[in-house]
Amino acid sequence: MDKRFYQIPKLPLKKALLFAVAASPLLAFFLWDRMISLAQPSGEIIREAQVAASSDDAYHDPDSWPEYSHTDSDFGVFAGNPGSSGEATFGGWRWTGLGIPAGALISKAYVEFNQQEWGYLISTSLAFEDTASPSSFSPNSTPFHRWGDKTNFVINWTWPKQIPDSWIQTPSLTAGIQELVDKHGSIEEVVLLESGATVEPEQYHSWTSYDLNPSLAAKLHITYTTSAPGSDTTPPNRYDGEPLGLLPSGTTQADVSLTTSKDAICKYDTIPGTSYAVMPNVFANTNATKHSFTLSNLGNGLSYNFYVRCQDNAGNSNPDDYVISFQTLPECSPPNTGDWEVTQSCILNTTVTPPTHVIVKDSANLIIQKVGVLNINLSNLIIEKGGEVIVEEGGSIF
């Protein structure tokens, strides 16, 4: 009997429901509580799940406040280092009922967190717990305890701060889910962990937890494919492109890289929509699953976009672009007269005496780096809600 699965957008996530119509084609719709599965065999299969229990998200600072909790209905799940000293906070989230089969090829995976309050712009690390069936959290089995049993996959990210209640998407977690499938076979549950080990004390933000608002609890998105035995007509999946986002001012060289789901040769162009056959540039290191080339002579305040397509050993090439996009932070350029309004993030690495006020606008960061000095009366420094002044080691304000 021919079975086909179709995407059902915006259906209510009610209790377990199985509805099937024995017709041609046979339609089947599967819904689980707080989890939806959308599928079409031999095509992309989508899994979307949301944290569905109080003990399925938690945080733990092992040596100071805020200690451990999976029932925090005030702050949610802390990220970073909210305590005044000692070790940082570790967060964790668990999703269940995923039904990912052994041998699945993961083409996309990411998590969406709901931003709670404003918080600080910080960098943390994400990894999965390296087990096929992770349990719920408890005081004796916290995110901190589980960090020692994390996947080889670890990714560092700086969260793109927005206004409270915004949904924040993580970088690609595809390689982490693929590692779990390759090592453990079929996957029903996964746990994502977040470490704030490199964050300075009292620098943190928080994510909405299940206990704070179940409808805003963390969401997991996974897309994968399965192939019929003996056939290969699918182009390689591409993921984990780097670098992404903002690079520090003064960066002159970067390694551009990505991963594919199978051995392939990857090419790139700076013009979108170029077919694989006529793309002029081949990655310097390719013909495997890891692909990279080195880009030199980067300039401050510039944007870089590379459009990537790959072809596997069976001759299947990508029909669409995979975009790797990044930019270098510009150096700050204060005016000679009047107020200095900082409307976009910039690096200050010289001594500057502003003529009047310095106004750091919403979502902008004034980063005082190394030997940078901002010579100003603090009463003339205005930081609007959502803006930040970050003084790195060696920088100063006086």
Q: What is the mean pLDDT of residues 104-112?
A: 94
| CATH number 2.60.40 given to 238-328 | yes
**C-alpha–C-alpha distance, residues 214 and 375, integer Å:** 47
The predicted-structure confidence for 348-372, as pLDDT tens digits, reads as follows 888 999 988 999 998 788 888 878 8
Tokens at 299, concatenated: 């300039």
Query: What is the number of other CB atoms lying within 10 angstroms of the CB of residue 223?
Result: 20
Instruction: Give pLDDT, residue 230.
Output: 55
pTM for the complete prediction? 0.53
- How is the chain split into domains, by residue range? 48-225, 238-328, 340-397
User: Could you tell me the pLDDT band of residue 147, with boundaries at 50, 70 and 90?
Assistant: very high
Determine the pLDDT at residue 65: 80
- Examine the pLDDT at 18 and tell me if it is beyond 50: no
**Mean pLDDT comparison of 18-32, 275-289, 356-370, highest-scoring range:** 275-289
pLDDT score of 229: 53
Q: Which two tokens stand for residue 127?
A: 């990894």
The confidence band for 190, taking pLDDT boundaries of 50, 70 and 90, is very high
First to last CA, the chain: 76
Residue 91 pLDDT level (bands cut at 50, 70, 90): very high
Which pLDDT score is estimated for 185? 86
d(CA 44, CA 5): 10
Largest CA distance in the chain: 78
CA-nearest of 299, 292, 286 to 253 is: 299
Name the pLDDT band for 198 (thresholds 50, 70, 90).
Answer: confident
> Rounded to 5 degrees, what are φ and ψ at 384?
-75, 160
What confidence category does residue 28 fall into, taking pLDDT thresholds of 50, 70 and 90? very low
Give the pLDDT band of residue 19 (cuts 50, 70, 90): very low
pLDDT for residue 114 = 96
Q: How confident is the model at residue 40 (pLDDT cuts 50, 70, 90)?
A: very low
* Residue 395 in this model has a pLDDT that exceeds 90: no
Question: Which tens digit of pLDDT belongs to each residue from 253-267?
Answer: 999 999 999 999 999
Residue 9: pLDDT over 50: no
Please report the pLDDT score of residue 193 as a whole number.
Answer: 97
pLDDT at 31 over 60: no
pLDDT-derived band of residue 188, with 50, 70 and 90 as boundaries? Answer: very high
Cβ neighbours for 325, distance < 8 A, ≥ 6 positions apart: 244, 303, 304, 305, 306
- Can you give the pLDDT at residue 227? 61
pLDDT computed for residue 228 by the predictor: 55
Identify whether the C-beta of residue 19 lies closer than 8 Å to the C-beta of residue 10: no
Q: What is the pLDDT of residue 26?
A: 34
- pLDDT above 70 (res 37): no
Q: Residue 184: what pLDDT?
A: 87
Is it the case that residue 55 has pLDDT exceeding 90? yes
Per-residue pLDDT, averaged over 300-305, amounts to 88
* Per-residue confidence band for 347, with pLDDT thresholds at 50, 70 and 90: confident
Average the pLDDT over 214-223 and give the result: 97
Q: Check residue 314 and give its pLDDT.
A: 83
User: Which has the minimum average pLDDT: 141-155, 175-189, 223-237, 354-368?
Assistant: 223-237
Asked if 240 and 157 touch (Cβ cutoff 8 Å), the reply is: no
Sheet (strand 373-374) strand order: 351-352, 373-374, 396-397
- Cα–Cα distances in Å, from 385 out to 5, 199, 361? 47, 22, 8
- Mean pLDDT, the chain, rounded, equals 85
